[in-house]
Structure 1
Amino acid sequence: MESIGKKFQSGVVTLEIMIAFAVLILSISAVIMVVFGNQSIIIDTENNSEALRKAVFGLEEARARSGTDFYSIVTKTEKEFSGALEYTKTLLVENITRCKKQATSTVSWATNNQKTQKIELTTYLTNVAEALALGGDCASEKTNSGWNNPQIFASDNINTSKINTVDVLNGIAYFGTNDSPYIEIADTRNATLVQTGGLLVNFSNNFSASWPINDLDAIEWRNPSTGIIKNFVFVAIATSTNQLNIIDVTDIQNPSLVAERTLNNVDPDGSFPEGYKLFYYKDRLYIGTRETAGAEFHIFNVSDPTNPVEIGQGISLNITVNDIVIKEQNVNGDIKRFAYLATSQDSGELKVYDVTNFDNSGIITEISQAKQNLTGIQNGQSLYIVGNNLYFGRQSTSNGPDLYVYDISNPQLGLNLLGVGDVETAVTRIVGSGRFVFLATEKNGQEIQVWDISDSSNLSRIKNYNLSQISKLGIDYENNFLYAVGQTTPNFQMIYSPNI
């Protein structure tokens, strides 16, 4: 197997600048400098120095702006003259996750003999505030694989008739199932290649949730008074009352139920009163149900996870909420918080709501310009956001795409369709890292699909992976591993892709 760090060279002569830049100290961290071009024997040190200063400035400017508006850091190219010499300055930005970008500042110019010279500096930009808002559930490592060779790294078997969902936080995987104890936990931090078994945690206190779990979201929470850090799992329960459970999993061998709440204004005798989907963002928990008698969308204050308080009486949408993603955005200088919903509505499979002032008003406002009325009656199913792009999956359409990517820079002006992909089946969950998204689908033999999203206008499938009877919410990604669950054997798989 080739080592991850190995690099190949073919017919390239590299000249190292060893005298002029023997010691280079930059005010930014983790910077890699590369000088390209077939330079003449006499190097124009002055031009190189000026290009280097411009490249450094490009990164410093990006870092400064990222502190106030992280999502405004996007790829751009501009020209600048220094006397008669023209420099081309490019900032290439790759969105890795909602919390991390890779920025490459490139400055190129033509020498007197028309040979192009180029200097590149690369660094990472992180959005600590967003990572905290997501409860730490924002994988930051860029995938180091081409994901064209997915295979099992480690696995285990969970004793249940069905696993409904999985969420991973810091190497700990949490599963919601249909059978007691309804929640299972796997510690994968020390998993080894070809390991089979030994990942699941035995509960010393024989803990069990009360009912099957439809969805869950794990967070890391810091007590603002004491500074003590704890881990909690928010759980959507398949029951007509106490649909929200909160479990303290700080000690994964001794989980404990710390709170349970009944959703306001939901008829327990209605068609589907159960908790169905949820999403945590910045001390608020957003919960959706299937279409039922009463309110289908609920917002809780969970600044103290042991004492969740529902804000208002819930919002009646008269639709099923199949997925929820929350994002705060700078819109014309104002910080807005939007809820993106994948729904069952035939005329609004993707809907966007402004929830910025909900705490004060108890009102959410639909952004009508952003609603997507797609061809056919297939429901919206899944959502994933990275940078200013939203990836949207829906039920299988016979004569059209099942995967869409939208520009969500300003939902109030509508969503600009950037590209589509024909998955040929329903897309039930989307997770991603860098230039890849991973899809959970209903297509036999292709239940997991890997797509390259580096060009939004030309989404391309890289590889399929067979995981029989995959759960609808059966994948999550963290730090080079895809965690997947289904009704096959083994029903829990850690998948990786060694380079070939």
Structure 2
Amino acid sequence: MKSSQKLTLNRGFSVLEVLIALAILTLGISAAILIVFGNQSLKIDNETNGEALYKAKSLLERARASSTLDFISINTTATTSEDIYSKKFNVADVSPCAKDLTSVVNWLSSFRPLEIQLTTRVTSLDEAEKLGGFCDPVAPESAWDKPNAFDIVSPSDFGGKGTGIAVAYLNGIRYVFLTTDSANKENFWSIDTTDPQNIDIDNDAHGIMAGEKGLNGITIAGNYAYVLNNDTSSHLLVVDITNPLDPKHLIDASSTIIGLTNGRAKSIFYYDKKIYVGTEFVSPTLNNEFYIFDVSTPDDPEQEASIKVNRNVNSIVVRDGIAYLAIGSGSSNPYTPLRAYNVDQNSTQYLQKVGEYATTTNWHGTSLYLLGSKLYFGLERKSPSSQLAPEFLIFDTANLNEPIGSKELNLTPQSSAGVSGVVVQGHLAFLVTTASNARLFILNVSSSAKPEIIKSKCKTAPLPQNATGLVYSDNLLFLSIKDNEAFRIIYNELSCS
């Protein structure tokens, strides 16, 4: 009996041992399978990651190469699909000579959404040269929610009120060039702004008289400044600024606009060896109001052509053979404060109107800025009106019929307040106005459809009123002002003082 029981127990233990062994074997095999499939999944992830990275890099490299051939045409593209990947290419304009390019590739891996995003900045020396050689490629360094002004510079420092402003780097030094309304004395100034907080007028500013009745505006191209004379003759003057410490008015290079009788020049723009001049409206039968000069020889402007606009031409911007004009109010509805003309000599539409913005609001078009495919447009009220309307509009250059975005600034007084200057850098638009209640606006224009005003976080002294010119450079704003001071520099404080 004892022997039989022992045998039975031994058999029971053997079955149990086999079951345990099978369980251990199953776990081991399962672990091995998981490791194998895990390695395969990791391998697939690595391969798809590498392929996605390659596609993102390829998008950027193709765009970078294209930008050297046609910088302006590099724009955001629609999302496309390729195998398991979704590809998107975004372009953000930083300045007229700089763009941020971003390639985005998305895909699903084991039901996990993955993304690779690469960004680079491209610049165009060619476009900078077309604009006169001076273009800031750097986006604003801050939110610009704490604007303030450096010490006031009074009209007595420059003998008059500011009428125009330009910024240029010469010999490695940043100079501001200012025109004033001073008659029979210095009215063209070069100002060393290396230390914008401590400008010594006696040592940093150098002035000459370029026009006997004052000046109306300025643009810079290379070593030459082109300025508008506030007179009915010698409308376009040339100043040699090769040595900014000793600017020289080239009297023999002065140009009286052919066909302009009893009219004064009001606006000026340089692009690609051409000077574009807008004048005041005199009468429907007398004078044209928009003139083109060839300055291939910088010190010898040659009048090329003109266009009858029948309005004051208050602001000009030109690119790709199209001139955009902000013009004065009209006499009948619909009104067209914004027009576009073809100025490409090789085009069959040369000197013809190719676009306009028609509106029932009879306001003055006053200011323009062009960045990428977006045209930024400021207006000024012609007369008091209980009906509010946007003073700031944004257009796609492909269609001027309707703005893609706008902003009401609620300026006062209603009879004359408006936007006198616009400049855009990156996602920020800087506007100066002739209003008494609000003189400087900073807007976030990341969304063209919904520009938003950035409210100042600090209580600062009133900023300049009646600015006549505005330039952005090196995270600073440079203003010419026709009010209690001729010139101001605006900066963004790090913290409220």
Task: Give the TM-score, by structure 2 length.
Answer: 0.79
Name the one with the larger helix percent.
2
Q: Residue 185 in 1 paired to residue 185 in 2?
A: no
Using the alignment, how far apart are the partners of 1:154 and 1:404 within structure 2?
A: 32
Shift of 1:197: 3.5
Is contact 2:436–2:465 with CA below 8 Å preserved after alignment? no
Gap change, CA 1:461 and 1:200, over 3 Å in 2 = farther
Using the alignment, how far apart are the partners of 1:483 and 1:41 within structure 2?
A: 56
Using the alignment, how far apart are the partners of 1:415 and 1:200 within structure 2?
A: 50
Q: Counterpart amino acid of 1:308?
A: P
Is contact 2:267–2:315 with CA below 8 Å preserved after alignment? yes
Aligned match of 1:216: 218
Shift of 1:43: 9.1
Is contact 1:164–1:471 with CA below 8 Å preserved after alignment? no
Secondary structure of the structure 2 residue equivalent to 1:51: helix
1:424 is aligned, of 390, 406, 410, to 410
Q: Counterpart amino acid of 1:364?
A: L
Aligned match of 2:392: 403
Shift of 1:100: 0.9
Is contact 1:407–1:417 with CA below 8 Å preserved after alignment? yes
Secondary structure of the structure 2 residue equivalent to 1:59: helix
Secondary structure of the structure 2 residue equivalent to 1:130: helix
Shift of 1:161: 3.3
Using the alignment, how far apart are the partners of 2:127 and 2:221 within structure 1?
A: 13
Secondary structure of the structure 2 residue equivalent to 1:305: coil
Q: Counterpart amino acid of 1:438?
A: F
Aligned match of 2:351: 364
Aligned match of 1:95: 93
Is contact 1:97–1:138 with CA below 8 Å preserved after alignment? yes
Using the alignment, how far apart are the partners of 2:78 and 2:349 within structure 1?
A: 44
Aligned match of 1:463: 455
Secondary structure of the structure 1 residue equivalent to 2:455: strand
Shift of 1:254: 0.9
Residues 194-203 or 254-263, more deviating? 194-203
Aligned match of 1:118: 115
Using the alignment, how far apart are the partners of 1:41 and 1:199 within structure 2?
A: 70
Aligned match of 1:201: 204
Q: Residue 306 in 1 paired to residue 295 in 2?
A: no
Secondary structure of the structure 2 residue equivalent to 1:311: strand
Aligned match of 1:252: 244
Gap change, CA 1:126 and 1:199, over 3 Å in 2 = farther
Q: Residue 348 in 1 paired to residue 336 in 2?
A: yes
Shift of 1:486: 2.8
Aligned match of 1:381: 366
Gap change, CA 1:403 and 1:494, over 3 Å in 2 = same
Shift of 1:199: 8.4
Structure 1 residue ranges without an equivalent (≥5): 1-39, 221-230, 329-336
Is contact 2:158–2:187 with CA below 8 Å preserved after alignment? no
Secondary structure of the structure 1 residue equivalent to 2:257: coil
Is contact 2:388–2:410 with CA below 8 Å preserved after alignment? no
Aligned match of 1:142: 139
Secondary structure of the structure 2 residue equivalent to 1:417: coil
Aligned match of 2:20: none
Is contact 2:168–2:220 with CA below 8 Å preserved after alignment? yes
Gap change, CA 1:71 and 1:487, over 3 Å in 2 = closer
1:173 is aligned, of 171, 176, 187, to 176
Secondary structure of the structure 2 residue equivalent to 1:48: helix
| Greater Cα radius of gyration, structure 1 or 2 | 2
Using the alignment, how far apart are the partners of 2:129 and 2:492 within structure 1?
A: 29
Aligned match of 1:282: 272
Is contact 1:446–1:466 with CA below 8 Å preserved after alignment? no
Aligned match of 2:479: 484
Aligned residues: 424
Is contact 2:90–2:102 with CA below 8 Å preserved after alignment? yes
Gap change, CA 1:201 and 1:304, over 3 Å in 2 = farther
Residues 58-67 or 384-393, more deviating? 58-67
Aligned match of 2:31: none
Shift of 1:154: 6.5
Indicate the RMSD between aligned Cα atoms, in angstroms.
2.6
Using the alignment, how far apart are the partners of 1:155 and 1:469 within structure 2?
A: 9
Is contact 1:237–1:276 with CA below 8 Å preserved after alignment? no
Shift of 1:42: 8.8
Shift of 1:198: 5.0
Is contact 2:159–2:186 with CA below 8 Å preserved after alignment? no
Using the alignment, how far apart are the partners of 1:55 and 1:154 within structure 2?
A: 48
Q: Counterpart amino acid of 1:296?
A: E
Is contact 2:336–2:358 with CA below 8 Å preserved after alignment? yes
Gap change, CA 1:55 and 1:200, over 3 Å in 2 = farther
Using the alignment, how far apart are the partners of 1:487 and 1:245 within structure 2?
A: 21
Is contact 1:92–1:103 with CA below 8 Å preserved after alignment? yes
Task: Give the TM-score, by structure 1 length.
Answer: 0.79
Shift of 1:133: 0.9
Aligned match of 2:161: 162
Using the alignment, how far apart are the partners of 1:491 and 1:41 within structure 2?
A: 67
Gap change, CA 1:256 and 1:344, over 3 Å in 2 = same
Secondary structure of the structure 1 residue equivalent to 2:357: coil
Is contact 2:367–2:422 with CA below 8 Å preserved after alignment? yes
2:442 is aligned, of 450, 455, 461, to 450
CA displacement, residues 60-97 of structure 1 (integer Å, 9 cap, x when unaligned): 12112223332332223424344xxx222222211111
Gap change, CA 1:499 and 1:110, over 3 Å in 2 = farther
Aligned match of 1:34: none
Using the alignment, how far apart are the partners of 2:274 and 2:138 within structure 1?
A: 26
Using the alignment, how far apart are the partners of 1:123 and 1:408 within structure 2?
A: 25
Is contact 1:394–1:403 with CA below 8 Å preserved after alignment? yes
CA displacement, residues 191-230 of structure 1 (integer Å, 9 cap, x when unaligned): 16x4354586344xx732123111100121xxxxxxxxxx
Gap change, CA 1:327 and 1:109, over 3 Å in 2 = same
Is contact 1:438–1:449 with CA below 8 Å preserved after alignment? yes
Secondary structure of the structure 1 residue equivalent to 2:204: coil
Gap change, CA 1:444 and 1:66, over 3 Å in 2 = same
Identity among equivalent pairs (%): 28
Using the alignment, how far apart are the partners of 1:146 and 1:427 within structure 2?
A: 22
1:439 is aligned, of 412, 428, 431, to 431
Gap change, CA 1:78 and 1:318, over 3 Å in 2 = closer
Using the alignment, how far apart are the partners of 1:499 and 1:469 within structure 2?
A: 21
Shift of 1:498: 4.0
Is contact 2:435–2:465 with CA below 8 Å preserved after alignment? no
Secondary structure of the structure 2 residue equivalent to 1:276: strand
Is contact 2:152–2:488 with CA below 8 Å preserved after alignment? yes
